[in-house]
Amino acid sequence: MQISHEKVAAIHYTLRDNNGKVLDSSEGKDPLYYLHGFGNLIPGMEEGLEGKAVGDKFEIKVSPEKGYGVRNDAAVQAVPREAFGDAVVNVGMQFRAGNENGQYIVTVVEVGEETVTVDGNHPLAGVELHFNVEVMEVRDASADEIAHGHVHGPHGHNH
């Protein structure tokens, strides 16, 4: 059985950046289970997994456009320090922000006397991603999984 729309797949993966630095891995953990074709993974990852079968080991290179997007310099903004009230604010902290397009996470990149600079880009925006993948399992999705758009049961969401 191959990975395709409405299949549940389990994969082991290691994610690296262009410099070979490991950014994330399932090594030593349970595999990642997901429902294929429902946007549960970044587009480039789903495209690279399409048609693969149990036992396949391969690499997927994902461009920023098919990963977490290109960096948007307009998403970096200086916010008045008083907007954070009495909170202690440090570089690396994340906060939920919102606008007419919905809510998103911003990361503090600089703390000054008068302003706090936040970055609304995903931390991996603009980064070419390199995945080493092994397919561990492929099965048909249940009707409930398809209706809900995600995996249920062992290694998935229970509700």
What's the pLDDT band for 158 if we cut at 50, 70, 90?
low
pLDDT in tens, 40-86: 999 999 999 999 999 999 999 999 999 999 999 999 999 999 998 88
CATH number where 59 lies:
3.10.50.40
Confirm whether 1 is domain-assigned: no
Same-domain status, 12 and 58: yes
What's the pLDDT band for 14 if we cut at 50, 70, 90?
very high
The arithmetic mean of pLDDT across residues 25-52, rounded, is 96
Residue-number span of the structural domain to which 99 is assigned: 73-119
The pLDDT score that the predictor gives to residue 154 is: 64
Output the average pLDDT for the chain.
93
Judged on CB neighbours under 10 Å (0-12, 13-18, 19+), 111 is middle
Torsion, Cα of 73, 75, 79, 84 (10° steps): -140
Same-domain status, 32 and 54: yes
Torsion, Cα of 75, 78, 83, 84 (10° steps): 90
